[in-house]
Amino acid sequence: MVSLASRRKVSLHLMDRGFSVRLSSRVCGRSRGALRRLPKDRNHELRLQVLELSEKHPRYGSPRIWRLLRSMGVLVNRKAVERIWREEGLSLRTRTRKKLKRDRPNISRPAHASEVWSMDFVHERLENGRQVRILGVLDAFTRECLLLKAAPCYRSSDVKRDLEWLFLMLGKPERIRTDNGPEFCALSLPASVHHDFIQPGSPWQNGHIESFFGKLRDELLSCELFTSGAELQECLDEFQSHYNNHRPHSALGGLPPSQFAKRVDSDIIQEATITL
């Protein structure tokens, strides 16, 4: 059996489609006066209370709102609260974590040396089971490995110390690109050096150092079993020297990074001489 409320909805729908009041009321078995009168909301006060409580407690669902009303002395049926909840389109607000606002990294191809340094960690396990962290720093333009250092642990202060040594030896870059690791988030850089944080879960935004670590893993770390941190560091130094000075790099026209850097410097000097 169709309820009166349902018949009223059908009648109003027919009227919206252009049917007359008389025809709509006859089809649904309702009087014309019944269609013109607005139904009274018998739960008006309860509805206001539910809306007020849901606004005040956005993490509460209808069962908890009902219990809260009962504790306030409101004698109400649980189903009545659920019905109002559905009619008002209320739902439990999804809790979202607020993300720390950071500028998106500028991942365009660098145009010159020391424009962008890429930095990250890779892990290695020694023969005795101890884990070692390896910090790598790469010039994103020349692809030269500027630092490759192993240590049992790396704090932010340790990273800062190694960077200050690089600044002293090579000068400061315009930007340093890292992921959102705690050692990098706590890192304090000079005002002239911009810290580019890649987006979480987006290692490709720091692809130069990731690619370098892939070669390091494939050509050294996966081929040797290191008995100590000192032995590992010695092998890392040899790899860094070979990579920079002898290993052909496909992205640099087959040149090793150091030769590519020298050629770029020579071209810059030649252009400056022609300009003068």
pLDDT bin (cut points 50, 70, 90) of residue 255 is: confident
270 CB contacts (<8 Å, ≥6 apart)? Answer: none
Task: Name the percent of the chain lying above pLDDT 90.
Answer: 45
Task: Name the percent of the chain lying above pLDDT 70.
Answer: 75
Give the Å distances, CA to CA, from 61 to 79, 105, 247.
13, 40, 63
Predicted pLDDT at 190: 94
- Summarize pLDDT for 39-69 with one digit per residue, the tens: 556 678 888 888 898 888 776 788 888 988 8
- Summarize pLDDT for 88-106 with one digit per residue, the tens: 888 765 555 555 555 555 5
Predicted pLDDT at 130: 93
Residue 36: pLDDT over 70: no
Domain 116-267 = CATH 3.30.420.10? yes
Q: Domain map of the chain by residue range?
A: 4-36, 43-88, 116-267
Cα separation, 123 vs 126, in Å, equals: 10
pLDDT mean over 180-202: 92
Query: In this structure, are residues 50 and 64 in contact, taking their beta carbons and an 8 Å threshold?
Result: no
pLDDT mean over 197-206: 89
3-state secondary structure (DSSP) of residue 136? strand
120 CB contacts (<8 Å, ≥6 apart)? Answer: 135, 136, 178, 179, 206, 209, 210, 213
Residue 269: pLDDT over 60: no
Residue 271: pLDDT over 60: no
Predicted pLDDT at 21: 62
- Summarize pLDDT for 61-73 with one digit per residue, the tens: 888 889 888 888 8
